[in-house]
Structure 1
Amino acid sequence: MDYPKSVPSAGLVNGRFADENPIAGTPGSLIPASWGNSVTQEILNAITAAGLMPSENQTDQLSLAIKELAKLDPQQSFPVQVYRKNLVINGNFDIWQRGTVNLGPYTGAYIADRFRCDWNGNAGVSISRQSFALGQGEVPNEPRYFMRWQQITAGVGASVHKISQAIESVRTLAGKTATLTFWAKADTARQLNVTVAQYFGAGGSVDTVMPVGSFQLKTSWTRYSATIQVPSLAGKTLGSSGNDFLRLSFDLPLNVLQVIDLAQIQLEEGRVSTPFELRSPGDELMMCQRYYEKTYSQDVSPGSLIGPYGALISTVRQGQTGFASQPMAQWTFKVEKRAVPSFSLFTTTPKGVSGQWRSGSDEVSSGNARTLGASTRGVWVDNSDIGVITQSYYIHATADAEL
């Protein structure tokens, strides 16, 4: 961009615009239409390149565009600490520690890590991990997986069909502008309502719920985006339980047979939707393990009877008697938990019942395994039964500190 020096009639003085001087009798410079249009277009190009919608009445769009365009590109090889803009954990649906499908069509709660699924009205819903085909061109960045909500029983009188994530701390985005972006499709045209809610914890202020938008889903993958102003916390009271959060919720149609797919969910600060932040599965797993961890390998669902692989191990040696002849092992978590978790114990083989220590030969078991000394860093698992024979014993466990 430059002054219109190639237009003689513009009347530039020393290459710049000049005012009219009635005393000296010199005219003022003219602004050719082509030059004025090109200046406007140059500014519009910067505004649209930043993802903003040009507005006649808004006078700060160029500065906003410059700030947005100056941000680091998550596609570049900068250290991960430089960005980390997506507040949603597992938004790419890479981590499924609890298994890749819900245990039964009427069982909700968590399936994909950090995403809670809830429904009522006797609906039957299958939540599952689905794979993208290699090289598909509909959703960018070559994602591996997406989440599918498949309603196999419509149900009657439902009030809740929801996929949500609780983002730790109600202070998250408080008083700021945020932008939600996600990819979705459905079996037919469906309306998906999205909200953000501030939950202040037990004993705190009443929830504040803000609508993000209503989105008409199509039968092909489509990118959706909306901007929201999150309220400040002025005048609010925080509960004392440490379980406050910001909840992002996708509310699905009620009492209908339907298939809805979600992928690449991103919630970020700012009023501009930017490219989806790609994090490695290893990084994403560590973020998920702040809330849930297991002794099983990542591709093994909790409760699977796979033997001692990865299980806690305790060896009862010859000469131990009484309480000393009980299995006891320490489980140190890979990632410190958000809060002291709740635990589930699982046997390693088909013999016995869930939660038993099993011996290496699978002939001796004890039905009174228990946890004690739990903290955010780990837990002890022991036994309160009578003495057991000299062998090695195994048990699997999960730790749940979800909000």
Structure 2
Amino acid sequence: NIINGGFRIWQRGTSWSGLIASGFTADRHKLYISGTFNASASQQSFAVGQSEVPGYPIYYLRITGNSGSGTCGWEYKIEDVRTLAEKSVTFSMYVKGTAGGTFTLSMYQDFGSGGSAAVTVATTTSTISSNWVRLVLTAVLPSLSGKSIGDDSCVQFRFEQAGWTGNLDIAHTQLEVGDVATEFAAGPVDMELARCRRYFFKYFGNLWGYVRATGPGNPDWVLRSCLSITMRVRSPAVYLPSSISSWVLESAGEASGYTIRWIAHDYTDLTITLDGGLEGRTRGMGAWLGVTEDQPLLIDAEL
């Protein structure tokens, strides 16, 4: 139930600095901040042939605590609080680092916006050292009887400490049914990417459409694409790049001078409308828009 537990997918990038609020790093994994804190995060590579973390992993996540009195650490949410309710589960993760003090690993049932108050299922504490160690937390997820469930409910995990500095390294996160932590098992990387894209999609590619040009108040161009993945929510947030200078709009030759009017997303369908750039074109002409990898659209449906 942990997607990207092996930290192989990094759609958002590989390095972040000056973070003062919670935000995602490797896909599905969040750097957690509460209160006043300054942190950084980055992708790190395992040495080929190392044996402390089994299975020959490639990457791990490093969180660096820079300063602050607030709380900082790692957070992960599994969609739907109904997941594994009333079952015995075991969560495990590998950690190391240079940060002193004592970290707390916690498991929660979060009933979402408008739902019942969150329940702390289990906690354990640990210090970390320069050597990789596996932390294990086993518990029975409580019954949902008498609870109400709101939007964005989840089973949540957090590894955190207040006011620390130094590095916290995390690898091979896993949740399984039962009271024993077994060997880490990663799915095929293409399936992991597909599962990650349900929550966050870095989109680049072609959209197809036509010249609409029906007069004032209406967009001049309508272009659509069907994504290969159904997003978690019907209308996720869509973020534009700071520039679209490398995008290509074609209709009887390349068009120029156009601007984005609006972008809409409905589970799998992406629609972009544009204004301008109509010179030499008439209503009904076919068109395509190339969104480039260096200036992608970011579609966010995360919890």
Q: TM-score, normalised by structure 1?
A: 0.65
1:366 aligns with 2:277: no
SS at match of 1:288: helix
**Structure 1 counterpart of 2:201, one-letter code:** E
The residue that corresponds to 1:401 in the other structure is 301
Query: Is the contact between residue 293 and residue 333 of structure 1 (CA under 8 Å) also seen in structure 2?
Result: no
Structure 1 pair 140–269 and aligned structure 2 pair: CA distance change class (3 A): same
Structure 1 pair 316–109 and aligned structure 2 pair: CA distance change class (3 A): same
2:140 aligned to which of 212, 219, 229? 229
Query: Is the contact between residue 358 and residue 366 of structure 1 (CA under 8 Å) also seen in structure 2?
Result: no
What does residue range 40-51 of structure 1 map to in structure 2 within 5 Å?
Answer: none
Query: Is the contact between residue 226 and residue 269 of structure 2 (CA under 8 Å) also seen in structure 1?
Result: yes
1:119 and 1:266 mapped to 2: Cα distance? 22
* Post-superposition CA distance 1:72-102 (Å, at most 9, x none): xxxxxxxxxxxxxxx1111100001111112
Structure 1 pair 115–369 and aligned structure 2 pair: CA distance change class (3 A): same
Answer with 117-126 or 90-99: which moved more: 117-126
SS at match of 2:148: coil
The residue that corresponds to 1:27 in the other structure is none
Query: Is the contact between residue 177 and residue 228 of structure 1 (CA under 8 Å) also seen in structure 2?
Result: yes
The residue that corresponds to 1:255 in the other structure is 163
1:342 aligns with 2:237: yes
1:238 and 1:321 mapped to 2: Cα distance? 46
The residue that corresponds to 1:20 in the other structure is none
**Structure 2 counterpart of 1:265, one-letter code:** T
**Structure 1 counterpart of 2:67, one-letter code:** A
1:149 and 1:347 mapped to 2: Cα distance? 27
**Structure 1 counterpart of 2:73, one-letter code:** K
Structure 1 pair 278–368 and aligned structure 2 pair: CA distance change class (3 A): closer
SS at match of 2:2: coil
The CA deviation at 1:386 is 4.2
1:294 aligns with 2:294: no
1:276 aligned to which of 184, 191, 197? 184
**Structure 2 counterpart of 1:267, one-letter code:** L
The residue that corresponds to 2:284 in the other structure is none
SS at match of 2:142: coil
The CA deviation at 1:327 is 3.4
2:67 and 2:99 mapped to 1: Cα distance? 15
Query: Is the contact between residue 89 and residue 139 of structure 2 (CA under 8 Å) also seen in structure 1?
Result: yes
The residue that corresponds to 1:33 in the other structure is none
The CA deviation at 1:181 is 1.3
The CA deviation at 1:388 is 2.9
2:141 and 2:26 mapped to 1: Cα distance? 26
* Post-superposition CA distance 1:300-334 (Å, at most 9, x none): xxxxxxxxxx3x445767xx745598333213122
SS at match of 2:48: coil
The residue that corresponds to 1:166 in the other structure is 77
The CA deviation at 1:364 is 2.6
Query: Is the contact between residue 322 and residue 386 of structure 1 (CA under 8 Å) also seen in structure 2?
Result: no
* Post-superposition CA distance 1:366-391 (Å, at most 9, x none): 3333123x3212221112x3453358
1:192 and 1:117 mapped to 2: Cα distance? 14
Query: Is the contact between residue 358 and residue 365 of structure 1 (CA under 8 Å) also seen in structure 2?
Result: no
SS at match of 2:221: coil
The residue that corresponds to 1:377 in the other structure is 268
**Structure 1 counterpart of 2:92, one-letter code:** T
Structure 1 pair 283–186 and aligned structure 2 pair: CA distance change class (3 A): same
The residue that corresponds to 2:126 in the other structure is 215
* Bigger Rg, which one: 1
2:93 aligned to which of 182, 187, 193? 182
1:170 and 1:111 mapped to 2: Cα distance? 23
1:244 aligns with 2:134: no
The residue that corresponds to 1:144 in the other structure is 58
Using CA pairs below 8 Å that are at least 6 residues apart, which structure has the higher relative contact order? 2
Structure 1 pair 102–108 and aligned structure 2 pair: CA distance change class (3 A): farther
Q: TM-score, normalised by structure 2?
A: 0.85
Structure 1 pair 215–256 and aligned structure 2 pair: CA distance change class (3 A): closer
1:107 and 1:358 mapped to 2: Cα distance? 35
**Structure 2 counterpart of 1:366, one-letter code:** Y
Query: Is the contact between residue 327 and residue 382 of structure 1 (CA under 8 Å) also seen in structure 2?
Result: yes
SS at match of 2:32: strand
Structure 1 alignment gaps of length 5 or more: 1-86, 297-309, 352-356
1:370 and 1:103 mapped to 2: Cα distance? 31
2:148 and 2:130 mapped to 1: Cα distance? 44
1:388 aligns with 2:278: yes
RMSD over aligned Cα, in angstroms? Answer: 2.6
Structure 2 alignment gaps of length 5 or more: 282-286
**Identity fraction in percent:** 28
